[in-house]
């Protein structure tokens, strides 16, 4: 389905707004987030492999660091790549969500008010904060890193040192910047529904009044945390195999944090939408109740009317009651119960896995 002219204008305006939050303006970077993420992942793992080969990990020398057993590094590289992907993909994700909402008829007017978003995006500190945070983190890493543990990075020459600095610096910058742009995207989504009047279609095929793209947006955000869940599950299994799960307090606290993170990522972008949909439904019910009250007062004031007129008025009151029952069924959340159950399952799996690991360790 081709986009209307208004939808194309909205897409261009929102994409320009989102890209203003980034320090680079190269369009091809936003068009190829998956390629950039895969490239980073391959460079990260290739660097790990080269270091392992350089220090004889595969030669059978027991004195060297055994990268072949350090498979969490694989998942960390994957997690860093996912952050880079989401950092570059977020403008497209946010823009596509608003355009699909517009095409679903979610907004009452033909033009969407973006003035509040434009005002916030003009603050260039959104670009500076991730850069400053990355520099400070790299300085702390250089100063406080336990060199006796990580000497294998630096024993040959400065090339491994520079390579790991670039690899970690890019990943940490993507993490900081993703956090900032994610907060702004959630803020922007809430402002859109504060500044614009909406229209809920209870018979829309998405079963959410035409607002299903918003729950899809939130689920995409949850997928960021999903890779953290994978790392947690792998860490629990690894710690159980090594028999050290009972003393690993990070494995106890991380699933709890994850359990709080997933609902937060899901519900925060939907807060203002929920309030707007609830307001729309309540306004419909208030208008129907007002009309019912007028018809009822008219009926009471005309008790001497003919039976035919009385029957007609009673029929109108009955119809208004049916309309009110229909109004109560208007959706007030942009998701179905199936999605809510899926989000809950996503949140509890790492926690359940950790609890099972602790129970098995205790029994053994």
Work out the mean pLDDT of the chain and round it to a whole number: 79
**Has residue 354 got a pLDDT over 60?**
yes
**Has residue 58 got a pLDDT over 50?**
no
Q: Are 47 and 164 in contact (CB under 8 A)?
A: yes
Average pLDDT on 49-60 reads 57
Q: What pLDDT, on a 0 to 100 scale, did the predictor assign at position 244?
A: 56
Q: 284: pLDDT confidence band, cut at 50, 70 and 90? A: very high
Q: What pLDDT, on a 0 to 100 scale, did the predictor assign at position 67?
A: 44
Q: Select from 266, 40, 344, 47 the least CA-distant residue to 175.
A: 40
Q: Report pLDDT digits (tens) over 291-312.
A: 989 888 887 777 666 777 778 8
Q: What pLDDT, on a 0 to 100 scale, did the predictor assign at position 142?
A: 72
Q: What pLDDT, on a 0 to 100 scale, did the predictor assign at position 287?
A: 93
And the tokens for 232?
A: 């947690």
**Diameter of the chain by CA atoms?**
106
Query: What gap in Å lies between CA 360 and CA 364, rounded to an integer?
Result: 6
Q: Report pLDDT digits (tens) over 191-211.
A: 888 888 888 988 888 888 899
Residue with tokens 């309030």: 275
The CA-CA-CA angle for residues 131, 231, 175, to 5°, reads 10
- Tell whether pTM > 0.85: no
Q: 236: pLDDT confidence band, cut at 50, 70 and 90? A: low
Q: What pLDDT, on a 0 to 100 scale, did the predictor assign at position 38?
A: 92
Q: What pLDDT, on a 0 to 100 scale, did the predictor assign at position 364?
A: 66
Residue 255 or residue 188, greater confidence: 188
Average pLDDT on 62-71 reads 48
Q: Are 11 and 95 in contact (CB under 8 A)?
A: yes
**Has residue 19 got a pLDDT over 70?**
yes
Average pLDDT on 136-151 reads 67
Q: What pLDDT, on a 0 to 100 scale, did the predictor assign at position 64?
A: 46
């Amino acid at each position: 389905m081709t986009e209307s002219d208004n939808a194309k204008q909205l897409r261009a305006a929102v994409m320009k707004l989102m890209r203003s939050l980034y320090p680079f303006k190269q369009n091809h970077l936003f068009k190829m987030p998956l390629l950039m993420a895969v490239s980073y992942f391959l460079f990260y793992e290739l660097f790990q492999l080269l270091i392992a080969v350089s220090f004889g990990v595969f030669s059978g020398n027991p004195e060297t660091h055994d990268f072949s057993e350090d498979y969490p590094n694989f998942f960390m590289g994957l997690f860093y790549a996912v952050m880079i992907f989401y950092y570059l993909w977020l403008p497209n994700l946010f823009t596509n969500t608003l355009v699909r909402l517009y095409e679903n008829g979610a907004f009452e007017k033909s033009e969407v008010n973006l003035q509040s978003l434009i005002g916030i995006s003009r603050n260039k500190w959104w670009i500076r904060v991730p850069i400053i945070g990355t520099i400070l983190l790299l300085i702390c890493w250089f100063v406080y890193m336990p060199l006796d543990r990580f000497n294998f990075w630096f024993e040959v020459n400065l090339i491994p040192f520079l390579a790991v600095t670039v690899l970690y610096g890019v990943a940490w910058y993507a993490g900081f910047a993703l956090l900032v742009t994610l907060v702004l995207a959630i803020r922007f989504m809430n402002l859109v529904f504060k500044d614009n009047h909406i229209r809920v279609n209870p018979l829309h095929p998405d079963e959410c009044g035409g607002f299903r793209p918003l729950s899809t947006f939130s689920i995409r955000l949850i997928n960021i945390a999903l890779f953290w869940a994978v790392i947690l599950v792998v860490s629990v299994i690894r710690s159980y195999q090594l028999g050290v799960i009972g003393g690993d307090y990070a494995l106890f606290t991380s699933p709890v944090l994850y359990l709080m993170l997933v609902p937060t990522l899901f519900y925060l972008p939907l807060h203002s939408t929920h309030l707007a949909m609830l307001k729309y439904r309540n306004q419909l019910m208030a208008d129907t109740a007002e009309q019912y009250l007028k018809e009822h007062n008219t009926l009471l004031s005309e008790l001497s009317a003919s039976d035919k007129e009385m029957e007609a008025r009673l029929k109108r009151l009955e119809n208004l009651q049916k309309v009110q029952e229909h109004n109560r069924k208007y959706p007030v959340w942009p998701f179905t119960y199936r999605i809510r159950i899926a989000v809950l399952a996503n949140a509890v799996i790492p926690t359940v896995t950790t609890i099972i690991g602790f129970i098995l360790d205790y029994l053994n």
